[in-house]
Amino acid sequence: MTAFNVVRFRVKPGFEQQFIDHHRTARLGFKGSLGATLIRTGDQTFCIVGEWRSMSSLAAARPEMIGLLDGMRHMLEDLGGGLGVTDPVSGEAVARLRVPKSVAKKKRPARKAKPAKAKRKKR
């Protein structure tokens, strides 16, 4: 069954772009990973959502994920409450929420027509 992990971060002031760039350039070759998305949730706060083939593939990749985290710990603030610099959760998907076709196919705004190019006269 598909699994997900979600990790919340708070980045130190001035490190936001470096944190984003670190994720953009990371080579995520985790076996069983289906991809991830980094989301800005506030001025200095971010969340990453990873999708996995299974809970066992997610669990097997944890040492590699910790290695990736080690390369950016200096950019992160302690979240408080005994959490440290991350607030991670993970689990198996229990329901897939689908958008009705009528909503998914909602008419897109019309594109502006490009002006026709004038034809050159042959001489």
Give the domain ranges of the chain: 3-91
CATH for 3-91 (3.40.50.1820, 3.40.50.300, 3.30.70.100, 3.60.15.10): 3.30.70.100
- Token readout for 102 is 């009528």
Compute the average pLDDT of residues 63-83.
Answer: 94
Q: With contact defined as beta carbons under 8 Å apart, do 6 and 89 qualify?
A: yes
pLDDT at 119: 55
Query: What is the Cα 22 distance to its own chain's centre?
Result: 12
pTM: 0.77
For residue 106, pLDDT over 90 is answered with no
Of 40-44, 50-54, 64-68, minimum mean pLDDT range = 64-68
| Of 19-28, 70-79, 97-106, the least confident | 97-106
What whole-number distance in Å separates Cα of residue 18 and Cα of residue 30? 22
